């Protein structure tokens, strides 16, 4: 088996040896899963029913956010659960929920830091679990901000909290294993990759973070199918910061990944993107939903590349997708309902900053007018590439 090449525009080329990869694949490979039968079951699986999957954007705790979490903990540690309480009803109600953990964790008790090298309290992991998240992508341009120890601490904390993860790894074998989740009788694999690491290479642990390579992503998706995955979700940290529209690289990679097929069926069932700090469009590409940018979920007051405060950096969406079992003589689960829910990390409310489900607030009838303006702006961006015609809706 040939080695995988991983490339980055910021950190140069990192190459895994074929021997290391072969050993890792041998350690984690499993047999293929059979197709659904007429009774709605696959061999060895429970009866298959529709399930919902939600995904959200960057969790990026700046120094001010870390300080607020300390206040929310009464000065004893850091509690991020209150910040996320406004979206917990949506997250916890989903059958599967995926977050993007952009930063790495420090040791218990700190020290912690925000921009430019983020080191966050490990209590973020317990907050993610308490909010209802099942898995988090951990591949970002900040994955190496605290070196390899930061990667290890982060994954150890997520493991301890019971949150699965994909995108960074403590061993070569772990780098090749997707997060494997279960819902509705389906096995869902999450894969995650980042465009680069802010120029911070790990020459002795090149497998510590998954760098974007289209050939590798498709190969990993096919390996996940062989390991039993019915649905493959790919998390991509990509795009141009502060740009509402997906850039040429995003569009090209989306076309390439959604065009990949095995036995006539797609290799990738959903793409969820992060990194741009602003909401970007949803689009159906080659019949597969692509979220170019979820926007930020947790972040301090954001400063854009022009050095100006930019409220878009606290806006985001929750993507919610309903997957239904394969139809007779079909091998793949299908997205039968696609929704987006605008959200806001509100720093201007009359109280501590909190993540707000804008649709829920507007449905109550007494939300401030600025919530409607933000909701409508996010909706315009999300629908800017024709997603409404393909059935994407924003429930109220």
Task: Give residue-wise pLDDT tens across range 105-126.
Answer: 999 999 999 999 999 999 999 9
CB 49 within 8 A of CB 185: yes
Task: Give residue-wise pLDDT tens across range 14-36.
Answer: 333 333 333 333 333 322 233 23
Question: What is the CATH code of the structural domain delimited by 55-390?
Answer: 3.60.21
Q: What are phi and psi of 229, to 5 degrees?
A: -70, 130
In this prediction, residue 45 has a pLDDT band, given cuts at 50, 70 and 90, of low
| Least trusted range by pLDDT, from 2-6, 44-48, 73-77, 110-114 | 2-6
> What pLDDT shows up at residue 327?
86
In this prediction, residue 44 has a pLDDT band, given cuts at 50, 70 and 90, of low
Average pLDDT of the residues in 166-190: 97
Percent pLDDT > 70 in the chain is 88
In this prediction, residue 274 has a pLDDT band, given cuts at 50, 70 and 90, of very high
> What pLDDT shows up at residue 371?
97
The domain spans of the chain are: 55-390
Separation of alpha carbons 239 and 227, rounded Å? 30
Give the total residue count for the chain: 396
Residue 89 is inside which H or E element, if any?
A: helix 88-93
pTM, entire model: 0.89
Q: Does residue 348 have a pLDDT over 90?
A: yes
Average pLDDT of the residues in 69-91: 98
Q: Which of 237, 25, 59 is nearest to 158 (CA)?
A: 59
Task: Give residue-wise pLDDT tens across range 360-369.
Answer: 999 988 899 9
Separation of alpha carbons 283 and 382, rounded Å? 8
Q: Which residue has the higher pLDDT, 81 or 2?
A: 81
Q: Which of 282, 272, 186 is nearest to 228 (CA)?
A: 186
């Amino acid at each position: 088996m040939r080695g995988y090449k991983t490339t980055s525009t910021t950190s140069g080329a990192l190459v895994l040896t074929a021997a290391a990869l072969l050993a890792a694949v041998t350690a984690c490979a499993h047999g293929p899963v059979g197709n659904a039968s007429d009774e709605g079951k696959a061999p060895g699986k429970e009866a298959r029913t529709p399930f919902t999957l939600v995904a959200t954007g960057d969790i990026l705790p700046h120094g001010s956010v870390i300080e607020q979490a300390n206040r929310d903990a009464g000065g004893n540690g850091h509690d991020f659960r209150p910040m996320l309480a406004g979206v917990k009803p949506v997250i916890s109600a989903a059958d599967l929920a995926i977050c993007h953990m952009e930063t790495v964790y420090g040791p218990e008790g700190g020290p912690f830091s925000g921009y430019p090298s983020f080191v966050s309290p490990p209590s973020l992991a317990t907050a993610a679990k308490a909010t209802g998240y099942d898995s988090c992508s951990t591949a970002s341009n900040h994955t190496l901000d605290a070196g390899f120890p930061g990667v290890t601490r982060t994954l150890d904390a997520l493991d301890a909290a019971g949150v699965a993860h994909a995108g960074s790894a403590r061993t070569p074998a772990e780098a090749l294993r997707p997060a494997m989740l279960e819902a509705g009788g389906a096995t869902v694999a999450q894969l995650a990759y980042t465009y680069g690491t802010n120029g911070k290479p790990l020459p002795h642990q090149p497998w510590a973070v998954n760098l974007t390579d289209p050939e590798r992503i498709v190969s990993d998706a096919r390996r996940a199918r062989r390991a039993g995955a019915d649905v493959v979700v790919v998390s991509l940290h990509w795009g141009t910061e502060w740009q509402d529209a997906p850039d040429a690289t995003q569009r090209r990679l989306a076309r390439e990944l959604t065009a990949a097929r095995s036995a006539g069926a797609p290799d990738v069932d959903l793409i969820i993107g992060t990194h741009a700090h602003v909401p970007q469009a949803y689009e159906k590409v080659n019949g597969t939903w692509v979220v170019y940018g979820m926007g930020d979920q947790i972040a301090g007051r954001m400063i854009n590349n022009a050095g100006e405060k930019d409220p878009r950096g606290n806006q985001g969406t929750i993507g919610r997708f309903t997957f239904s079992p394969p139809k007779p003589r079909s091998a793949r689960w299908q997205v039968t309902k696609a929704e987006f829910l605008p959200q806001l990390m509100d720093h201007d409310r009359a109280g501590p900053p909190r993540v707000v489900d804008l649709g829920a607030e507007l449905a109550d009838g007494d939300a401030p007018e600025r919530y409607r303006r933000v909701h409508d702006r996010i909706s315009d961006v999300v629908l800017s590439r024709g997603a409404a015609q393909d059935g994407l809706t924003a429930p109220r």
